[in-house]
Structure 1
Amino acid sequence: MAVENVTVAISVRPHLPADNAALARLFEEMQRHYRVPCPPFETILADLATLPPGVEILVAETDRIIGFAICSTIYPGPGLRAGFFLKELFVLGPYRGSGAGRLLMQALARTALQRGHGRVDWTADGGNERLLTFYGGLGGTRQPDKVFFRLSGEALAALAKADD
């Protein structure tokens, strides 16, 4: 892969606690990319140090971390088998198109099969054709019979207080 006229090798591995500072900087970059607010760096570090059970992070790296995939095991899926839900896949801008995203997804797929999982699910920005093409190129299929819902903010608080 060529980045700024330099060929680099990309590898993928599970996240280690020693990666937290580099990963937190990548999270900040992701938030800038999506133009959404970002918590303070120290908050990101604290959250990475206390990940909820079941959260797994894969990192793509050259001489530094350039991307990540974050997933959790879900159950049940078809046939009452477990699967993964991919929450985030992100690769730094200069490395997009380098194969890093594909390597992260391949590692996730291998891990799913090794654990006997029946599928990997994720959501994607419906207006990002490059992203949709990337996921389609992996063999992913859109699920037109499914609708993605989110409960957050005031609606989350209101439902939590219902019947109190």
Structure 2
Amino acid sequence: MMEAEIRLLQKDDPALPELAALMLEMQAHYRVYSPPHDEIVQGIANRPAGAEILMCENAGPVIGFVAFSAIYPGPGLKPGIFLKELYVAAAHRGSGIGKALMRALAGIASRRGLSRIDWTVDASDAQLLSFYESVGGSPKPDKLFFRLDGEALKDLAG
């Protein structure tokens, strides 16, 4: 891997605009809607308490990130981490950035006494499945991913 620095995003971090630009790239990669750059910057700056972001910078530019939150409880009533998003800029894929970000996240979990890292993955993306297995992850076929959003969320909330 090239010389790169991995660090936690800080409040009022000067890298916010670069991180937002990488998130724009990510949304385009997944072919999903993205708000304008300024809204992304505001969303990152005003993210909910407990939502953290590790960034990988290469002499300035943000070239990868992992967004995560602590969760509780888990198996054995132990806390863990939920990895929401891992993304590496297209120009830097295959250079070890993703593995370095996962290693840094595992280090955070270990230092904080968290027992595991959970995440979801697109079941049809063989390359991504292979990557996560290469860092030691294992699929949990006995679990399903659910989401409550849109009208169903509003209806349930009353």
TM-score range, shorter chain: over 0.9
Q: Which has the higher mean CA deviation after the structures are superposed, 149-158 or 24-33?
A: 149-158
Runs of 4+ in structure 1 displaced over 4 angstroms?
none
| Equivalent position of 1:4 in the other structure | none
2-side partners of 1:11 and 1:146: how far apart? 35
Question: Aligned with 1:145: secondary structure?
Answer: coil
Segments of structure 2 that go 5 or more residues without pairing to the other structure are none
Q: Does 1:20 align with 2:9?
A: no
| Equivalent position of 1:56 in the other structure | 52
Give the alignment partner of residue 4 of structure 2, picking from 7, 10, 17: 10
Q: Does 1:104 align with 2:101?
A: yes
Q: Does 1:115 align with 2:104?
A: no
What one-letter code is carried by the residue in structure 1 that aligns with 2:9? H
Cα root mean square deviation, aligned: 1.0
TM-score by length of 1: 0.91
By how many angstroms is 1:134 displaced? 0.2
By how many angstroms is 1:10 displaced? 2.3
Question: Aligned with 2:15: secondary structure?
Answer: helix
Counterparts of 1:80-91 in structure 2, within 5 Å, are 80-91=77-88
Q: Which has the higher mean CA deviation after the structures are superposed, 43-52 or 22-31?
A: 43-52
| Equivalent position of 2:122 in the other structure | 125
Segments of structure 1 that go 5 or more residues without pairing to the other structure are 2-7
Question: Aligned with 1:79: secondary structure?
Answer: helix
Residues 21-65 of structure 1 show CA distances to partners (whole Å, capped at 9, x for unaligned) of 000101100000000000121211111111211111001121211
